[in-house]
Amino acid sequence: MIDIKEIGVVIATTADLIADKLKAIVEPLPIIVKKVPHNKEQMIDQIKRTKPDVVLLDVALIEEDDEIITEIVMLLNIPLIILSSGTVHHTAKTVNAITNGASDFILYDNLDSPYYQDEVINKILHVAASLTVNGQKKSTIQLEKNREQKPPRTMKRKKKASIGVKLPFDSIVAIGTSTGGPKALQIVLSSLPKTFPAPIVIVQHMPSGFTKSLADRLDNICRIRVKEAVDGEKLKPATAYIAPGNYHMIVNRQYEITTFIGAERGGHRPSVNTLFESVAELEEVNKLAIILTGMGKDGAIGVRKMKEKDKDTIVIVESEETAVIHGMPKAAIQTGCVTEVVRLEHIGERIIHHIMKRGK
């Protein structure tokens, strides 16, 4: 539950209609909203003086190779939410912004939807609550205690069952994430070697269009291949498959990807739980589940199912001190099925340890 104390929100957009809609959405809450000049220098200067809890920045104000994201997030230590449309040009710029430090994005084309208005409020409140003090979140001490309760484990090599075809891998990695996920995925996936011997299946809560831009950007940065998943394709090692926005994704018993439009699950499509539950049914491979930053509880049910089906499943969650939003990792921890709680920058090396160094 977010403690809704008075928070400050700065809106930076050239569109008065968008600013007015956002002000109306947050009006019932104790939120002070201010607009800033569109000139970059004046904008930064006013943000410095205002010291808001959150900045909402229109993607249209971000130029190529612009350092405004770094200035707001890194230098001023203020969480940033991007205001964007669903156009191809905007999706690419938005993904670039959220892989460079922005926490989340709001689609201004959806602001008239009552359901989406609730989501906007949740995003602003949760991102505001993620603000760090002296570079560290307030509630890290208890998490450190949680981490010390379970020593790191090593996967046991499975004896493969026959599925009528020889698999080119003996392990699979499944990742679930939401708010703050694009940046977290960049850090984790870019740490993996080109020879990584397992496929990686990923659910990142994002609308249609954004997942393709995210996959393309990560593919340009990482040594492994990263792509938006395609229905019917077979899994390959050293490849990360991101579920397409607005589609659920599962892995079937032939180790092929299936995507489909089903009912939203817990308000999500794609759903981490849906993906994890399908991976739980795979008997021929070692399984490693990762829960990164995200709002809500998606993934907790799937983690429990994976452990019930295979007690040797390794479950790693991102620690609170590095997660933009600790909701999803916390929900996974509460299942009692988590093997390790790890800072974001160390998750890649833990994946390598479990997948590439088993038994050593």
Residues that are catalytic: 178, 205, 298
CA angle, 317 then 282 then 151, to 5°: 30
For residue 108, the 8-state DSSP code is G
Backbone angles phi, psi at 325, to 5 degrees: -130, 125
Helices (H), 51-154: 68-70, 88-98, 114-129, 141-149
- The DSSP code for 75 is I
Q: What's the gap between Cα 38 and its chain centre?
A: 30
Q: 134-154 burial, b if ≥16 CB within 10 A, otherwise e?
A: eeebeeeeebeeebeeeeeee
Adjacent-strand bridge partners of 255 = none
Nearest-5° angle of CA 131, CA 132, CA 137?
115
Kind and range of the H or E element at 160?
Answer: none
Determine how β-strand 340-342 pairs with β-strand 80-84.
unpaired
> Is residue 109 helix, strand or coil?
helix
Cα separation, 76 vs 78, whole angstroms: 6
Cα four-point dihedral sign 323, 34, 29, 4 = positive
Exposed, middle or buried: residue 270 (CB in 10 Å: 0-12, 13-18, 19+)? buried
Asked whether the beta carbons of 285 and 308 are under 8 A apart, the reply is no
Contact 167, 160 (CB under 8 A): yes
